Chain A
């Protein structure tokens, strides 16, 4: 496939690995270089292509909070489930949300109990549902980062234009730079550089990460999802660390512009206001959430269907929060693999295909079996 296959050339990948090893060997004081990949998609690509093992000893990778399903607070999930049980409501959601455990059960479980929960591929499908069911109320569960939120904004604008009254959104959308700042401000983990999320940056632009070198002296490389993308980002970060010259490098220029997608940004600004949001593992982070503007209150499911939600605690023993902050690896959690598995997930990091625990679980056996 064009724009994918050519970025998987194994011979070139081998050379990039050698270059990284050579640069680290020339600067032994920086060894191992500790990098965080913010994005859960990167976590999976790094495992899938065996990059961790190739760079072992020279570069240590830490997974970050870049999994929207994982960082959705249990209380917000309870809110969505309560909404799905309102009479006449159809709750439309992306597929990865239905198995995530709230404080009592998941969307999948309440669907089995009779709630009308529909899995959709696109917010456009939710418009179709609202159109086809004029006697019902369609609530779209809006989960996702800057990559996903413009599509929700577009759907809300389309519903306005087409006069479709029965579509509203429970917006749990989150912004990524505030979470990155929260990790660095907390100082729980010493990092040398950040692999910036590729598809988030396609929307917000690589310039959105300039605060990392400017305010934190931290190098950042925005990366795509193929082996050459990730290795060139790692090479750029190792070089910046070796030279002591942190900067933002865009190694995904075929998709990411410095200024991002201005049309998408404008759509976000037309539909949402920025405000606080609750992140699993972090608590509330200021200015990290997207809330539907008061002028569009009739599209805001939280206002249209007020439901009572109890304060809840995270599952006992689950270290998802620390995993999301990069403080521990999944293997350091006592539940990992013993109690918490993809078939019986205790925390969301094991549920989502992008969760760090799911990645460690899925690929660990492959690694263990190696001669």
Chain B
């Protein structure tokens, strides 16, 4: 029930009602809880209301942390002499994907 979806604000009318696209369909949502949202921003939508303004810098920071972690992990695995379970190029690791 707490499902919420990030989506981009396409337009905002005079009443703080935004037009967004959800699942390929244009919808009107209320920005009453995120009055700072501007056209072009991404908001998190739950039951017709934006409940949070997405922070692109924080998203980038998380991804940068993951990339850094991956580098450290790769270095550790090269050092480890026990087998080569996770060895290989990023693309071969990708094909062992998390989504089955």
Chain A interface residues toward B at CB < 8 A:
1-4, 6-19, 22, 39-41, 49-51, 54, 66-69, 94, 96, 121-125, 143-145, 147-148, 150-151, 154, 197-200, 202-203, 227-228, 232, 251, 253-257, 261, 263-264, 267, 352, 354
- In the complex, what distance in Å separates the CA atom of A261 from the CA atom of B34? 8
- In the complex, what distance in Å separates the CA atom of A17 from the CA atom of B70? 11
CB<8 Å pairs between A and B, sample of 18: A10-B94, A12-B66, A22-B76, A39-B2, A40-B1, A50-B98, A50-B99, A147-B46, A150-B33, A151-B47, A151-B48, A199-B2, A199-B46, A255-B44, A255-B55, A263-B33, A267-B33, A352-B1
Contact B99 A49 (CB under 8 A): yes
- Kindly name the residue among B44, B56, B76, B99 whose own CB sees the greatest number of chain A CB atoms within 10 A: B44
Given A10-B98, A39-B2, A228-B62, 5 more contacts at CB 8 Å? Answer: A14-B96, A17-B98, A254-B58, A255-B44, A255-B54
Do A148 and B46 form a contact, CB below 8 Å, given A16-B69, A39-B2? Answer: yes
* B32 nearest in chain A by CB position: A154
Chain B residues with a Cβ closer than 8 Å to the other chain, count: 46
- Kindly name the residue among B4, B56, B65, B77 whose own CB sees the greatest number of chain A CB atoms within 10 A: B4
Q: Which of B30, B34, B94 contacts A11 (CB 8 A)?
A: B94
* B57 nearest in chain A by CB position: A254
* B70 nearest in chain A by CB position: A15
* A251 nearest in chain B by CB position: B62
Chain B residues, Cβ within 8 Å of A96: 1
- In the complex, what distance in Å separates the CA atom of A54 from the CA atom of B96? 12
- In the complex, what distance in Å separates the CA atom of A356 from the CA atom of B93? 31
- Kindly name the residue among A49, A199, A255 whose own CB sees the greatest number of chain B CB atoms within 10 A: A255
What is the minimal beta-carbon distance from A68 to any residue of chain B, in angstroms? 5
Contact A261 B33 (CB under 8 A): yes
- In the complex, what distance in Å separates the CA atom of A279 from the CA atom of B66? 38
Do A18 and B73 form a contact, CB below 8 Å, given A13-B98, A49-B99, A202-B4? Answer: yes
Which residues 6-60 of B sit at the A interface, judged by CB distance below 8 A?
Answer: 6, 8, 30, 32-35, 42, 44, 46-49, 51-52, 54-56, 58-59
- In the complex, what distance in Å separates the CA atom of A219 from the CA atom of B67? 24
* B96 nearest in chain A by CB position: A14
Mask: chain B, 64-100; 1 = CB below 8 Å from A; 0 = not? 0111011001101100000000100011011011111
Chain B interface residues toward A at CB < 8 A:
1-4, 6, 8, 30, 32-35, 42, 44, 46-49, 51-52, 54-56, 58-59, 61-63, 65-67, 69-70, 73-74, 76-77, 86, 90-91, 93-94, 96-100
Chain A residues, Cβ within 8 Å of B46: 147-148, 151, 199
Contact B77 A199 (CB under 8 A): no
- In the complex, what distance in Å separates the CA atom of A256 from the CA atom of B59? 11
Contact A145 B98 (CB under 8 A): no
What is the minimal beta-carbon distance from B8 to any residue of chain A, in angstroms? 7
What is the minimal beta-carbon distance from A108 to any residue of chain B, in angstroms? 17
Chain A residues, Cβ within 8 Å of B34: 261, 263
Chain A residues, Cβ within 8 Å of B48: 121-125, 151
Contact A2 B66 (CB under 8 A): no
Contact A255 B49 (CB under 8 A): no
* B7 nearest in chain A by CB position: A1
Chain A residues, Cβ within 8 Å of B52: 202-203, 255-257, 261
What is the minimal beta-carbon distance from B22 to any residue of chain A, in angstroms? 10
What is the minimal beta-carbon distance from B64 to any residue of chain A, in angstroms? 11
Chain A residues, Cβ within 8 Å of B77: 18
6 closest A-B pairs by beta carbon, nearest first, are A122-B48, A10-B97, A13-B98, A253-B58, A254-B59, A3-B6
- In the complex, what distance in Å separates the CA atom of A94 from the CA atom of B77? 49
Chain B residues, Cβ within 8 Å of A13: 97-98
- In the complex, what distance in Å separates the CA atom of A8 from the CA atom of B97? 10
Contact A151 B58 (CB under 8 A): no
Chain A residues, Cβ within 8 Å of B74: 15
Chain B residues, Cβ within 8 Å of A15: 66, 69-70, 73-74, 86, 93
Chain B residues, Cβ within 8 Å of A145: 1-2
